[in-house]
Structure 1
């Protein structure tokens, strides 16, 4: 196991790459010309740069000192965490940056490949549970969805099936996940689309909206999204949601029409 003394201190880079709309500007400087503080001041001054939008940790990130990363870059808006190769380091990353607005995380960050409750209960603007290699069926159980407090939830390649989605919708109608504005489920269970739709909507009163009807939707500080057609359902308190899917019902999206989500 690595100790904190094994972690590399951040040094001024020899090269910095800045990207804008998928194009790169490359600039190389001498090591003794700028220190890290100089670089950050340069970004602030030249680019009116006031914060880090996203930081990603993945394999080999454990080599670097987290104290230095936080010192120079602060807490980003979004944190993207994959397994760094060191579970203790993974834990420290999450502890250090838990106040981010958005989290993207893979189950293999944890030794048991299961997202713990202390992550699920955080009040993120958006939480994405990503797929990385083999997806463990127990990464997030259905019952654990109901302790999620994030406004936007995305679970990729989940082993939940149509019956699970049906139960999730029904419990949402009874008041579960009251903060949720949008959720996306990418189902790994395959099957006929008609059978899936029938199971997902079984026992749920709904109104089908023609596909040529489009409605703009705004959620969790993201760009507006156009909701095309879909199936309208209602919560017991009258809040409306729209369920949309791909043609195979492998990707299920639910938009909740709170007043601030209506454009």
Structure 2
């Protein structure tokens, strides 16, 4: 005999929601605004959502905190209709909700699991550049935009140009900035991480002066003590009052260590907890952690 689920007392309704697996909870949430609110009140927790972009579709997995609950792979098709492919573990199912776009699906999942954004957006080397515009429409915001090493130079640059504004942090796992690093460093980004231990990123004074990224991390960097010394002297003169960066961190090339004396030649500083503190006439301060293969600037 069918039971009117929504007519159950609050305690029994909560028990019924807790007994549902993730797929059933999602299905319930799609019935109406009321059932969506019930699904949200179930307080079902999931792992941070990571989205992978492939040939002409995006895919992510809903991973419950409860290890006894199944992992649910969900695929968004390339078409702009309201369909998704969802796998309960016994074969893929095609789900459709009338008038739902792909953006609506993403927003719905984030809402019922009380997530503010996609945690990670990963671009695969199979993703055509033309599909990035679709991704931009589907994903409203993400914590980290991650571009793996196997992506081509053209795809990596296009992904940064089109998708970086969606991300709180951009992580690039290959040095593709052979000729135009200054262009990318001038972007208005919260955080950029460049990782390439095979081909170090060459940095010069001009690159550091145009830097418009709040937090920059480079593993590994090829920068000379002379260039760092010139940068510090210019900063001490106060010509860059509105310098945006808050943190610049380099792991230096093992084959080209930087001489500490060369970096701080002609610069007055105080030593605080094994770190060097530079203070300008206008009161601005720079705290530097330095070793032969590691440099960390913190602008206070």
- What is aligned with 1:143? 206
TM-aligned CA deviation for residue 189 of structure 1 = 4.8
Quote the Cα distance in structure 2 between the aligned partners of 1:34 and 1:132. 45
Say if 2:54 is the partner of 1:10.
no
| Equivalent pair of 1:102/1:126 in contact (CA under 8 Å) | yes
| Equivalent pair of 2:143/2:169 in contact (CA under 8 Å) | yes
- What is aligned with 2:224? 161
Q: Cα RMSD (Å) of the superposition? A: 3.3
Quote the Cα distance in structure 2 between the aligned partners of 1:64 and 1:132. 30
- What is aligned with 2:276? 231
Matches within 5 A, 1:113-124: 113-124=178-189
Quote the Cα distance in structure 2 between the aligned partners of 1:41 and 1:106. 29
| Equivalent pair of 2:191/2:213 in contact (CA under 8 Å) | yes
Matches within 5 A, 1:116-135: 116-131=181-196, 133-135=198-200
Say if 2:285 is the partner of 1:240.
yes
Change in Cα spacing, 1:47 to 1:132, as seen in structure 2 (3 Å) is farther
Structure with bigger gyration radius? 2
Say if 2:261 is the partner of 1:198.
yes
Change in Cα spacing, 1:235 to 1:152, as seen in structure 2 (3 Å) is farther
TM-aligned CA deviation for residue 253 of structure 1 = 0.8
- What is aligned with 1:250? 293
| Runs of at least 5 residues in structure 1 that lack an aligned partner in the other structure | 1-6, 212-228, 258-263
Quote the Cα distance in structure 1 between the aligned partners of 2:289 and 2:197. 25
Quote the Cα distance in structure 2 between the aligned partners of 1:172 and 1:8. 46
- What is aligned with 1:173? 236
Quote the Cα distance in structure 1 between the aligned partners of 2:180 and 2:171. 12
- What is aligned with 1:53? 119
- What is aligned with 1:102? 169
TM-aligned CA deviation for residue 188 of structure 1 = 0.9
TM-aligned CA deviation for residue 251 of structure 1 = 0.8
Change in Cα spacing, 1:255 to 1:90, as seen in structure 2 (3 Å) is closer
TM-aligned CA deviation for residue 51 of structure 1 = 2.1
TM-aligned CA deviation for residue 239 of structure 1 = 0.6
| Runs of at least 5 residues in structure 2 that lack an aligned partner in the other structure | 1-53, 73-86
Quote the Cα distance in structure 1 between the aligned partners of 2:271 and 2:249. 19
| Equivalent pair of 1:10/1:68 in contact (CA under 8 Å) | no
Question: TM-score, length-normalised on structure 2?
Answer: 0.61
| Equivalent pair of 1:81/1:109 in contact (CA under 8 Å) | no
